[in-house]
């Protein structure tokens, strides 16, 4: 559980960093991050699923959200919910990738920044991530449920506890 | 195409018979040529990367016509004609007709002279007569582009490689709509 949660957190932090980091030869600045996001927008656009404004929204919101999600997972706060959000997000990515691959569109994956082609390898990797995330989510909910039960039985009056 | 000293250099590896390459050219690159290449802001380099796909019967021949046109300084016109009329020459293999429509008879003669010994896929009745004893020199240029592509590495077409102020950025591939590509170029130019 702990290893899976930390692994997912690191993966999301790495994915956010890869999308936000300045391109070769550019220093860290607001302008260079904007350029990186504009480059990520081209990768999002190549999937051919969104309108121009949709591409702009997704490309500007997704990397900061991945950063937030990575930090949330790392903190362990409300783990059942952070892992559920992670599973839904990876599930969304995975279905988009499967659709694109099935349509025969040859595009840059955009998963960990530019330069990676979408293919069988990236599908296997994202499928494995989805399985890991699902396992962490189920585990987190099971642990939460057993904790809730323990709290109820500890907090209940003696007459109810006997039940 | 454009000013070789432009702050942005964009190399596009493409196959004249790849639908995404045509889409990319007609819906994005045309606007880039009009607004940024003509203004000296982007230097656009076409690189031939004919894919080894059985259905792409005439992709090498199209690349040869384009390369021959480039050698007489008429690449832009022929490149556009090849993409604009791709469905027509894909159907009958008559690339010559498409090229002839955008060149003067004298220019066409010079292009035909280079292309004639190279044509392999074009139906025999549509090939210009090959001058005796002349060998195909155009394939060396195409093979050079393909070697550059393999070094990128190009895994699909179109693949574009952008160099901004001397810094080469990671390659991208697939169709990108013009407003999104324009946003990226403007962002690079503002650095």
- Please write the tens of the pLDDT for every residue from B120-151: 778 877 778 777 777 788 989 999 999 999 99
Distance from CA of A37 to the nearest CA of B (A): 9
Residues of chain B in contact with residue A25, where contact means CB-CB under 8 angstroms, are 164-167
To the nearest whole Å, the CA of B157 is away from the closest chain A CA by 8
Judged by DSSP in three states, B170 sits in: coil
Q: What integer best gives the mean pLDDT of chain B?
A: 91
Cβ–Cβ gap A106/B168 under 8 Å: no
User: Is A103 in the B-facing interface, judged by CB distances under 8 Å?
Assistant: no
Q: Is B75 helix (H, G, I), strand (E, B) or coil?
A: helix
N- to C-terminal Cα separation, chain B: 23
On chain A, the residues whose CB falls within 8 A of the CB of B156 are: 106-107, 117
| B155, B181, B190: residue with CB nearest A42 | B181
CB proximity A160 to B under 8 Å: no
In this complex, the residue of A23, A41, A119 whose CB is nearest that of residue B183 is: A41
The nearest alpha carbon in chain A to B186 belongs to A35
CA distance A79 to A91: 18
- B48-69: per-residue pLDDT in tens? 999 988 889 899 999 999 999 9
Between chain A and chain B, how many beta carbons pairs sit less than 8 Å apart?
81
Find the chain B residues whose C-beta atoms sit closer than 8 A to any C-beta of A: 20, 155-157, 164-177, 179-181, 183-184, 187-188, 190-191
Which of B171, B176, B188 is opposite residue A35, by nearest beta carbon?
Answer: B188
**Confidence (pLDDT) at B85:** 94
A104 touches chain B (CB under 8 A): no
Write down the pLDDT at residue A162: 47
CB neighbourhood size of B123 (10 A): 11
Determine the pLDDT at residue A68: 96
Residue A113 C-alpha, separation from nearest chain B C-alpha, in angstroms: 9
Q: Which chain A residue has its CA at the smallest distance from B155's CA?
A: A117
- pLDDT value at position A117? 82
The answer to whether the CB atoms of B173 and A23 lie below 8 A apart is no
Annotate chain A with three-state secondary structure.
CHHHHHHHHHHHHHHHHHHHCCCCCCCCCHHHHHHHHHHHHHHHHHCCCCCHHHHHHHHHHHHHHHHHHHHHHHHCCCHHHHHHHHHHHHHHHHHHHHHHHHHCCCCECCECECCCECCHHHHHHHHHHHHHHHHHHHHHHHHHHHHHHHHHHHHCCHHHHCC
pLDDT lower than 70: segments of chain B = none
Q: What is the pLDDT along chain A (163 residues), one digit of tens a residue?
A: 789 899 999 999 999 999 999 888 788 888 889 999 999 999 999 998 999 999 999 999 999 999 999 999 999 999 999 999 999 999 999 999 999 999 888 888 888 877 788 888 899 999 999 999 999 999 999 988 888 888 777 766 655 554 4
**A99 reaches B (C-beta below 8 A):** no
Tell me, yes or no, if A26 comes closer than 8 A to chain B by beta carbon.
Answer: yes
**pLDDT, position B68:** 93
Closest residue of chain B to A34, computed from CA coordinates: B187
Give the ipTM of the model, two decimals please: 0.82
pLDDT at A158: 56
Query: Chain B within 8 Å of A117 (Cβ-Cβ)?
Result: yes
Interface contact A52, partner B, CB < 8 A: yes
pLDDT of residue B64: 94
Of the candidates A23, A35, A106, the beta carbon closest to that of B174 is on: A106
Tell me, yes or no, if the pTM score tops 0.95.
no
What span, in angstroms and rounded, lies between the C-alpha atoms of B188 and B10? 12
CB-CB under 8 Å, B184 with A41 = yes
Q: What was the pLDDT predicted at A159?
A: 56
């Amino acid at each position: 559980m702990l290893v899976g949660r930390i692994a997912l957190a690191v993966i999301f932090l790495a994915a956010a960093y890869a999308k936000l980091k300045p391109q070769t030869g550019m220093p860290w600045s607001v302008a260079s991050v904007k350029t990186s996001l504009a480059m990520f927008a081209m990768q999002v656009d190549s999937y051919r699923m969104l309108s121009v404004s949709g591409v702009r929204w997704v490309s500007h919101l997704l990397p900061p959200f991945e950063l937030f999600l990575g930090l949330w997972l790392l903190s362990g706060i409300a783990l059942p919910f952070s892992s559920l959000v992670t599973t839904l997000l990876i599930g969304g990515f995975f279905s988009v990738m499967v659709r694109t691959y099935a349509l025969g569109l040859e595009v840059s994956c955009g998963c960990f920044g530019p330069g990676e082609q979408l293919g069988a390898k990236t599908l296997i990797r994202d499928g494995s991530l989805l399985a890991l995330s699902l396992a962490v989510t189920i585990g987190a909910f099971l642990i939460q449920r057993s904790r809730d039960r323990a709290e109820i039985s500890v907090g209940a009056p003696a007459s109810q506890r006997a039940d | 195409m454009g000013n070789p000293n432009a702050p942005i250099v964009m190399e596009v590896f493409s196959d004249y018979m790849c639908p995404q390459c045509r889409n990319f050219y007609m819906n994005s690159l045309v606007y880039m040529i009009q607004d940024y290449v003509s203004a000296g802001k982007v230097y656009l380099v076409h690189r031939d990367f004919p894919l080894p796909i059985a259905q792409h019967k005439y992709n090498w021949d199209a690349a040869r016509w384009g390369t021959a046109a480039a050698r007489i300084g008429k690449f832009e016109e022929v490149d556009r004609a090849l993409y604009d009329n791709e469905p027509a020459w894909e159907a009958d293999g008559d690339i010559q007709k498409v090229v002839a429509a955008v060149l003067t008879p004298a220019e066409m003669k010079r292009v035909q002279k280079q292309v004639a010994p190279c044509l392999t896929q074009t139906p025999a009745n549509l090939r210009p007569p090959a001058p005796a004893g002349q060998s195909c020199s155009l394939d060396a240029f195409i093979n050079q582009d393909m070697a550059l592509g393999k070094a990128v590495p190009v895994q699909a077409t179109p693949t574009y490689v952008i160099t901004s102020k001397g810094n080469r950025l990671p390659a991208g591939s697939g169709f990108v709509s013009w407003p999104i590509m324009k946003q990226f170029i403007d962002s690079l130019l503002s650095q």
